[in-house]
Amino acid sequence: MLSSVIDYIPGWNVWTQAILAFLIPILASKIYKKMYAITGKGKKPDTADSKKAETLLEPSGAPFSGDYEADIQVIRDRIGGNSDLIFREIRMEKTNVRAALFYVAGMHNDRVLDLHLMEFLMFEAGSDTINEPGRIRDRLPFSCLLEASDLNSFNRSVMFGHIGLMIEGELGGLLIEYPNGANRSVQEPLSEALLRGPRLGFTEVLSENTSMLRRQGFSDQLEIKTQKVGTRLRKDLALAYIKDIVNPDLLEEVSARIGKMDFDFIAESGYVEQLIEDNYLSPFQQVQNTERPDRAIAALLEGRIAILLDGTPFVLIVPSTFSMLLQSPEDYYERWLPGSLLRMLRFLAAFLALMAPALYISFISFHPGLIPTELAMSIIETRQGVPFPSLIEVLILEVSIEILREAGIRLPKPVGPAMGIVGGLIIGDAAVQAGIVSPFLVIVVAVTAISSFSIPIYSAGLSLRLLRFVGMLFAAFLGMYGTILFFLLLCSHLTKLKSFGVPYLTPVSPFRLRDWKDLFFRAPLALMKRRPAMTKTQDDKRKS
């Protein structure tokens, strides 16, 4: 009797797996909290630091002296060392008054500059224009004119692309906004291609991007506020929102986080994303990025806020949820049944892209009894002669696929896609012929790679590709226990994660049945009468 009971007691390896399955979540939680505490995330900046940041953002410069010669000399001493800076001094024919122009080569249309500005100053500007205060500003044939408050702001604006104008006898300088830098034309977004939908994508020019949002439809409630970011090299950043829809608390929080960004140069919107997100230790992005104006305006109509940065076509949308990363604008342009089918396929593809290699390792190495007998015999037969354990076998193919994918992106367009496809076929076939990997694994890895391609947001696919390797390690050490533990830890992290106060798994957790009409499937448009409850909009009605 006792011996039969002892036979049913698990072996030491099962006890080890059980203990590790119990200890790993506790250890991971402790390490995570320790790292989060060390980084000091969420700590309010000191008053001295805040004042320092404000000082860097708005440096107080030397005022204009009113002495034309002295001010010109100060400007040339400070920025005259730039070889692309053009200094042109002219004399007005009717008044015999001198004027100086400062501008950067290549940032203006020289023909328009000659015809509109120089010709006016040299031949048309009279004594009535110069002697009366403000008359020169009223007569200049440009729509955007600014008065420089000090020499520093004058110099910065000239180097950023404005035309600086100094007139003898006038206190201060004028800045003419006439940018004409090298810009690309409006094209279809490369990272978010659609079969049905607008062929329109954001560009690198902020004014063009804001105009694209305006052209989505006539509305006086679409509000765009612009500010400067960067402490050393400054750029324009704009917040776009629908004034009578957006939650004021959300707008205040976004503005506060952007105001706290203390970085010398914000090169791309990815900098903004990393500086304002709730938890930068998380592998999941909490800020959505898009190149499509239609996606951005749809988000604004749900009560979200778009962040546009000059110099990049990628616009940020906050707050963001996990379900948004698997949605495509095409879901709404097609009828609701095809749109729902495509969306559910994406959720399935995301699960396969994340879990398929881990499940393969679990079944092959630890639980082959869970596989149907005929399939198990087939897999065993194909693995005859493979010298590596399942983890090494999967890592060889997965790392090879990732390298091929990265190489395909970096190569020129005509070569990249062909190299990726042909390279994958050649490497997979050669690995099977050499007996390094099994044919069944090639199928698993191919399905995993194809599934990751179906995710509409490229950054979301990167997160799943990273976590895939973590899941493989869990499966290699603990089998199916490890795979399930990995999935539960991931769900636990996603449940705690927030994006600007909005739970990341909304409307799954917390459960909001009303928002399930636009989750795994898309309900008919006639039934989607209200905006998502998660954003707490001022006006939650889509249909009156």
Q: pLDDT tens, 502-517?
A: 999 988 888 888 888 8
Average pLDDT over every residue of 257-273: 92
| CA–CA separation, 390 and 158 (whole Å) | 62
Question: Residue 499's pLDDT is what?
Answer: 92
Give strand ranges (E) for 160-304.
163-167, 173-176, 222-229, 235-242, 288-290
Q: pLDDT tens-digit profile of 299-326?
A: 999 999 999 999 899 999 999 999 998 9
Average pLDDT over every residue of 415-420: 65
Average pLDDT over every residue of 377-384: 82
Residues contacting 461, CB < 8 A, separation 6+: 353, 452, 453, 455
Question: Residue 290's pLDDT is what?
Answer: 93
Give the chain's mean pLDDT. Answer: 81
| CA–CA separation, 453 and 83 (whole Å) | 47
Alpha helices in 366-506 (DSSP H): 373-382, 390-410, 416-433, 439-453, 458-496
Q: Which range among 7-11, 195-199, 352-356 shows the weakest confidence by mean pLDDT?
A: 7-11
Query: Which residue type sits at 502?
Result: V
Q: pLDDT tens-digit profile of 125-167?
A: 655 555 554 556 666 766 677 888 788 888 888 887 788 888 8
Q: pLDDT tens-digit profile of 458-494?
A: 888 889 999 999 999 999 988 898 999 999 999 999 9
Residues contacting 293, CB < 8 A, separation 6+: 198, 200, 201, 202, 209, 212, 213, 215, 216
Residues contacting 137, CB < 8 A, separation 6+: 145, 147, 174
pLDDT at 11 over 80: no
Please report where in the chains the tokens 């300088």 appear, as a residue.
173
pLDDT at 441 over 90: no
Cis peptide before 510 (omega within 30 of 0): yes
- Rounded to 5°, the CA angle 70-76-80 comes to 175
Q: Are 239 and 305 in contact (CB under 8 A)?
A: yes
Q: How many CB atoms lie within 10 A of CB 132?
A: 10
Q: Judging by DSSP bridges, how do beta strands 222-229 and 235-242 pair with one another? A: antiparallel
